[in-house]
Amino acid sequence: MTYVDVAGISVDTRHFIGGERVSSPDTYPNSSPIDGSFLGEIARGGQAEVDQAVDAARAAFPAWAAMTREQRGAILNRLADLVDERTDAFANVETMDNGALLRSHLRGVMPRVAHNLRFFAHYAITDLGHPDFDTRGHTNHVSWDPSGVAGLITPWNAPLMLATWKIGPALAAGDTIVLKPAEWTPLTASLFADLTLEAGMPAGVFNVVQGFGSEAGAALAAHPGLSRISFTGSVPTARKIARAAADNLTPVSFELGGKSPFIVLDDADLELAASLAVEQYDNAGQVCLSGTRLLVHERIAEAFVAAFTAKAALLRQGDPRDPLTDIGPQIHQQHFERVRGFVDRARSDGAEIAMGGTPNDDLGGLYFCPTLITSPAPNSEIVTQEVFGPVLTMQRFSTDDEAVRLANGTEFGLAAVVVSGDRSHSEAVTRQLVAGTIWVNCFFVRDLRAPFGGSRKSGIGREGGTWSFDFYADVKNTVVAPTGWKE
Annotated catalytic residues are: 255, 288
β-sheet bridge partners, residue 359: 368
Give the integer Cα–Cα distance in Å for 325 and 29.
Answer: 27
Q: Which of 467, 64, 413 is nearest to 256 (CA)?
A: 413
β-strand pairing of 138-146 with 473-480: antiparallel
DSSP letters along 275-333, please? HHHHGGGGGGG--TT---EEEEETTTHHHHHHHHHHHHTT--BS-TTSTT-SB---S-H
Cα–Cα distance for residue pair 111/97, rounded to 1 Å: 18
Provide the 10 A C-beta neighbour count for residue 8: 9
| Torsion angles phi and psi, residue 92, rounded to 5 | -70, -40
Question: Does an H or E element contain 150, and which?
Answer: strand 149-153
Degrees, nearest 5: CA angle 41-192-153: 75
How many Å apart are CA 420 and CA 429, to the nearest integer?
10
